[in-house]
Amino acid sequence: MRAVFVGAGSLAVMTARFLLRRRHEVIIIERNKERIDALAAELDCGFLLGDGSKPALLREADPSHTDVLFCLTGNDQANILASLVGRSLGFPRIVTKIEDPEFEHICIELGLEDMIIPSRTIGRYLADLFQGMNLLDLSGIIKDEARIFTFVARHDDEMQVGELKLPQGSRLICLYRNGRFVPLEDDTHIREDDEVVLITHADNLAELHERWDVQMETVRKH
């Protein structure tokens, strides 16, 4: 498999090392030439010098032969922009890193579903570890063709959870209201701006994205 990284920070380099050890192909895009020169001495991978949010440079990274585009610079706005450009160029999967949780809803609204917030992930891990909890990675539970899908509820979505029409093979799991976890009951009412989480079959993702992406475009235009 082939991975392209925008940014050559510590997280990108660590991930690249793991992938290279597993014999995957890696390309790193970095605007600092000295950083590339230093990494070239230790990493057996390809490098592109320049701004990873520029369409010409991302096109040079060959989207059609890439499995994942990782946008991992130290700048949230740059990562979001690179992710959107990468999506427009046809990268099949894009992972976006953000440090500021305030950008989370924006990423969800833009359809950037593979998002990582390192400080939150590490903080939750350490808090659970402190309390002696058994740590279970969600990726170990969601297997085969099951997928997690999230969307931010709009005015038209305000209804009881049982009234929300979903594709066959989809079930609501929970929602987050003002950043707080809300378990679902039969009479739970979805409110505007709730972040809704559901589990679904992979075949339903295109329909779900089209439904809520179209809705978001309508909201932006008005």
Tokens representing 45 are: 């991978």
Q: What is the tens place of the pLDDT at every residue in 189-208?
A: 999 988 899 999 888 888 88
Q: What is the tens place of the pLDDT at every residue in 54-83?
A: 999 999 999 999 999 999 999 999 999 999
Domains of the chain: 2-123 (3.40.50.720), 137-221 (3.30.70.1450)
According to DSSP, the residues that pair with 49 across neighbouring strands are 30
pLDDT at 220: 36
pTM value is: 0.64
Q: Are 81 and 54 in contact (CB under 8 A)?
A: no
Shortest CA distance to 172 belongs to which of 156, 194, 154?
194
Judging by DSSP bridges, how do beta strands 171-177 and 195-201 pair with one another? antiparallel
Shortest CA distance to 28 belongs to which of 44, 45, 41?
45
- The Cα–Cα gap between 145 and 163 comes to 25
Q: Classify the C-alpha dihedral 187-143-80-208 as positive or negative.
A: negative
Q: What angle do CA 47, 80, 141 make, to 5 degrees?
A: 90
Inter-CA distances, 92 with 63, 66, 134, Å: 8, 8, 34
- The Cα–Cα gap between 159 and 198 comes to 16
For 29, list phi and psi in degrees, rounded to 5. -105, 125
Q: Are 153 and 178 in contact (CB under 8 A)?
A: no
Neighbours of 176 (CB within 10 A): 17
User: Could you read off the pLDDT tens digit of each residue along the chain, which spans 222 residues?
Assistant: 999 999 999 899 999 999 999 899 999 999 999 999 999 999 999 999 999 999 999 999 999 999 999 999 999 999 999 999 999 999 999 999 999 888 888 888 888 888 888 887 777 777 777 776 655 555 556 666 788 888 888 889 999 988 999 999 899 999 998 878 898 888 899 999 888 999 998 888 888 888 886 433 333 333
- The Cα–Cα gap between 50 and 63 comes to 17
